[in-house]
Amino acid sequence: MKNCPGHALSNEGEYKSVEEVVAICLQDLPFHEESGGGITISGGEGMSQPDFLRELLSALKKHNLHLAIETIGYVPEDVFQELAPMFDLLLFDIKHADSEKTSSRNKGW
């Protein structure tokens, strides 16, 4: 990365299509059916990519999977209002309960 003079930093991760993610999730379908488990969106803020998430949830719902998200809810209110009902379970990661610090919740990303 250009901001690291020693070039010790690098980007990690992979780009995946909705179809690729669904295929990976379906590899465990027998386990989900047997255990009553499902898919949890976590690791960062999943709602920060609303278009991808909307498409992914729609595709996964076709397979009757239980869908959960771990979120801090720090996304524009309209995005949250649209996506939240698509989940079977919402897990909130509350960072602090000080209303003065959280009052800017929906003023942007």
Right CATH number for 18-102 from 3.80.30.10, 3.30.460.80, 3.90.1150.10, 3.30.70.930? 3.80.30.10
In the block, tokens 């960062």 appear at: 44
Residues of 96-109 as b/e, b for ≥16 C-beta within 10 angstroms?
Answer: eeeeeeeeeeeeee
DSSP annotation of 49 = S
pLDDT tens readout for residues 83-109: 999 999 999 987 777 766 655 555 554
pLDDT digits (tens, 9 = 90+) for 27-85: 999 998 899 889 999 988 999 999 999 999 999 999 999 999 999 888 999 999 999 99
